[in-house]
Amino acid sequence: MFKTYWNEKLQLVEAELAQIIPQKSALSSTLCEAMNYSLMAGGKRLRPVLLIAAADAVGGEGDSFVKSACAIEMIHTYSLIHDDLPAMDNDDYRRGKLTNHKVYGDGMAVLAGDALLTMAFEVLCSQKNVNAENRLRVVREMSFSAGPNGMVGGQAIDLLSENKRIDMKTLKQMHEAKTGALFCAAIRSGAILANATDREVDALTIYAEKFGLAFQITDDILDVIGSAEKIGKPVGSDERNHKSTYVTLTSLAEAKKMAAEAVEDALHSLDIFGSQADFLRSIVQYLESRDK
């Protein structure tokens, strides 16, 4: 059930993403190629699948919101392109392939990221069967979560924290913004698009926050014990870059315990939902055992 649902939604998202960016453009075919290079590089498509699953959890038809799901994947992909740049994390590989700037150069990679971010809101606004109020709420959710009070703000803390030992409070603040904010945007947006009640949105917000925490902790764990072949990028980069993580600030055992607690809290937040939220239950449990 879990894998079948995920694969079905992943294929739906992949098919829609493949139609978004033209192969050629009157302005720059290279730009389109660079955008597609990263957007179609595969990956778990976790954020768009979560958006669809959140809509299903509140009784909506999640598949009908695939354009909005693709929009958040475009925002996520832009962030990866920029994160990999020499001025940021300086990574050579992403999802098992050379990073965008290694193929197209730093300047084109910056533009490809800029274009994906901007175009994401064009795609979002093309979502049908949603009233104007909810569409605007979702635009705000995604723009807020991606901006200086969310993902970009978290990345700024990360950049300023390089080669410094930060405390646990700062680490949590950084990752709530850098990683968690976009998960919140995906899950809250799916619920809003499906006309969820305030109670349902509040419960899913708690779920999203705990999901983001569990995801980041397990990401830190994988950087220590994971396989570069499976996760698609070099392991040990946090240690090489002298970054503070949940593992370095505590221990591997303590980080695993924290992840388990976050998963348990996420599951409790779904108590008000029935079987329609089973995928959300399964996917947060999957985080504890994931190897990529």
Per-residue b/e over 82-102, b at no fewer than 16 CB within 10 Å? bbbbeebbebeebeebebbbb
The model carries a pTM of 0.92
The tens place of each residue's pLDDT in the chain, 292 residues long, gives 889 999 999 999 999 999 999 866 656 889 999 999 999 998 899 999 999 999 999 999 999 999 999 999 999 999 999 999 999 989 999 988 999 999 999 999 999 999 999 999 999 999 999 999 999 999 999 999 999 999 999 999 998 988 888 999 999 999 999 999 999 999 999 999 999 999 999 999 999 999 999 999 998 998 888 555 545 555 555 555 567 899 989 899 999 999 999 999 999 999 999 999 999 999 999 998 876 6
Domain CATH number, residue 169: 1.10.600.10
Range of the domain at 130: 2-289
Tell me how many domains the chain contains. 1
Quick one: 125 exposed, middle or buried, by C-beta within 10 A (0-12, 13-18, 19+)?
A: middle
d(CA 271, CA 150): 27
Are 246 and 217 contacting, i.e. CB atoms less than 8 angstroms apart?
A: yes
Closest CA relative to residue 80, chosen from 66, 65, 98, 67: 98
Q: How far is CA 220 from CA 86, 161, 224, in A?
A: 21, 16, 7
d(CA 23, CA 251): 47
Closest CA relative to residue 206, chosen from 148, 258, 280, 132: 280
